[in-house]
Structure 1
């Protein structure tokens, strides 16, 4: 176990993954690979894999549960090769009938097969024989799932087996010591009850989120270069991609969550349309954590951070033309603020969700074409967007956000929003 002082709770799974990366780095020597347990462990593992430039794959384990007087208690776990790891003491206590146990195993094997297809999209699993394998999860409560995962990997003869988790119960860590060569855990609190208590943002990743993270590390996404943009004394984290043929440059400005599937999909779509793309979180993880949600940072400050990002992108790409800005969510009002301050540099805006009316006094200075995409059913936000549009000095088009009817997954909605932004930039830059 490798506990170290950390700031708790973690801002989100990405922050936890970055913390794990530096603890895991010195342990790896032989062709390492990261295997993450879905759904939450994949978001942690993806950030670790990105930080260490390692391949990432999913390791699916399904808890085996039986209905009883005390509810559904786990009695073991099923691994992706169909193997079952039983909790012998729990089985003895439950005295389960063989038929009931067989039905539960069949059911979990079917669900496991479905999940593998959804996550990998037909890709084969990563080979692990002879490699250093890092098994990652978002946390460990009892250790049952982690034990099954580690035993599955051990059967495939890795060179070294490492379990890496941000937070765990002390009893679980003690029980798992013989299952891995190394256990890295950032904190094992005395008052541990549930994994979710140790994350500020504990929104459950969707299957689309997991699939997108795996596709990125499998080479299905464009090569991403992590960057840090300096704005005053603040360091902002971003992802920078450059297509083979560059037709323009665009900043995707977000308050937080550039790693979420919908945001990545929007940035990828701009990249595919020929735009060198900088996807940037305008708030730091520390700010998000301290606020326990959206930080109270005004349009002046967020707009100035976005100005610095636009300047960085122009310098990085060597472009002399105008830049497109796509603002979303908590960063939406930063987009008009930056456009008002850079009338010769920002050539067009696309905004998805958020409150552009919060740009307030900056709005009359916006003279570039603006596309505003408002989530469906948010009549209040639509009215505020109409008010803001009336104060701007350039052409503004309001639309219902593509996919706002809720029939599409986050990735599909992100791609539609990215396509709308790319089309807007094509027309106006």
Structure 2
């Protein structure tokens, strides 16, 4: 978690949600779900879910305050009934857990009431296997968020993210081990209370929460349009692929591989791009017949011919690529992406070349005019030298980064997420200029 400079205070909770969206977007890939802690986290989470086009619901957790000082949290009750105490704080105050029994019972009753009001008879959404983003309007002590995260962890999410606009330094340190990713826009040293960092921090009622849930909760608002495609790529070669268009679209990216387009992590990278507003055309440049006959090592120029045809089809036969699209090429398709960028400078806006021997595109490199990001699989010095050599041959803006552990792309979760994040950042920087 690395806070970035942020203008404070926030105008209101909705603005805070909008400002969180771009930081959270790369982590909303695997069937994502935004869960807001009511009441204050609901307008933040609703705006975040709307912009990322994710499922949205509430997660009800009640703070346990000291008797007579309810604002001072020393624990929390989660929606599954589990109670978490801040034993360090209790020890400092020499207060046994038993002294809070009445408070715990009262908070349990309030939690049940809110569950009836907010959800009625509706069950909690499925957690297992999903990217779950927990949202609040801010964190002072971290007790409530900790209880929420520990409860969710037991349900085995694919990734557990805590995203808040503002937090105290102490809460950040306490919560860091509880989430796979902690996203905080501001961590001021002079933090005293969450409300001080909002110009409008109006109190919210149950009516506010239920109205937001009725408008947004439970389902995605903007379904994607998906269509299978078959593109003739010269002679008897046909490319099978899938074109997916988000409702809110700001560009297009062609994702090409030579090893099979159906791998779930490759599709997850495409999903991250779509959540960033890019239509995706996912293709395998190696034909079904070549795979059936185990034909390996198709020449980069031949794969470039096929990618040329795919880009031409996308631009001429659809309305999703009025601007020149980006290309993300993986493995043997990485040099093909550079071949196509060199041949058709008006039709390629930016390239991400991931893995593969991009030096195999040597004859085309001097003609590459689109900005190129080279992502290396691991730190092999020979492969890096080849990548740097290829960069020097290009006349375009280039960058080179090592994706740590990326040799394990098909096995490990965090590596493909990093590839997706780097690709989104590169296309955001360069396709918008098209």
TM-score with structure 1 setting the length: 0.49
Whichever of the two has the greater Rg, that structure is 2
TM-score by length of 2: 0.49
